[in-house]
Amino acid sequence: MDISGKVAIVTGAASGIGRAVAQVLGEAGAAGIVIADIDLAGANETRERLEAETPAQGLVVETNVADEDQVNAMVEKTVARFSRVDILVINAGICPMVPWDDTTLESWNRILEINLTGAYLCSKAVLPHMRHNKFGRLVFISSAGAFMGSVTGHVAYGASKAGMIALMKVLAKEFAVEGILANAIAPGSIDTPITDSFGVDAKRRFAEASSLGRQGTPRELADAVLFLVSDRSTYVNGATLHVNAGSLLV
Ligand X SMILES: NC(=O)c1ccc[n+]([C@@H]2O[C@H](COP(=O)([O-])OP(=O)(O)OC[C@H]3O[C@@H](n4cnc5c(N)ncnc54)[C@H](O)[C@@H]3O)[C@@H](O)[C@H]2O)c1
Is residue 114 close enough to count as binding ligand X by CB under 6 A? yes
Segment interacting with ligand X (CB under 6 A) among 49-57, 128-136, 175-183, 185-193: 185-193
Residue 235 is among the residues annotated as catalytic for this protein? no
Catalytic residue among 82, 120, 157, 175: 157
Is 16 a binding residue for ligand X by CB under 6 A? The answer is: yes
| Total count of residues recorded for the chain | 250
* Helices within 113-152 (DSSP H only): 118-133, 145-148
Q: Does 66 bind ligand X (CB under 6 A)?
A: yes
Q: Choose the binding region for ligand X from 50-58, 175-183, 192-200, 231-239 (rule: CB under 6 A).
A: 192-200
CB count within 10 Å of CB 4 equals 11
> Among 123, 150, 183, 195, which residue sits at the site for ligand X (rule: CB under 6 A)?
195
Q: Are 89 and 139 in contact (CB under 8 A)?
A: yes
Nearer to ligand X, 42 or 163 (CB): 42
Helix (H) or strand (E) holding 112: helix 105-112
Report helix, strand or coil for 155: helix
Out of 192, 230, 237, 247, the only residue in the binding site for ligand X (CB under 6 A) is: 192
Determine the Cα–Cα distance for residues 204 and 242; give it in Å rounded to an integer: 20
Walk across the sheet containing 136-141 and list its strands.
57-62, 32-37, 7-11, 87-90, 136-141, 180-187, 240-243
The neighbouring-strand residues paired with 10 are 35, 89
Q: Give least dist CB 55 to ligand X, A.
A: 24
Q: Choose the binding region for ligand X from 88-96, 104-112, 127-135, 172-180 (rule: CB under 6 A).
A: 88-96
CA distance 6 to 230: 10
220 is a site residue for ligand X (CB under 6 A) = no
Q: Nearer Cβ to ligand X, position 19 or 169? A: 19
Query: Residue numbers of the site for ligand X (CB under 6 A)?
Result: 11-12, 14-18, 37-39, 42, 63-66, 91-95, 114, 141, 143, 187, 189-190, 192-195
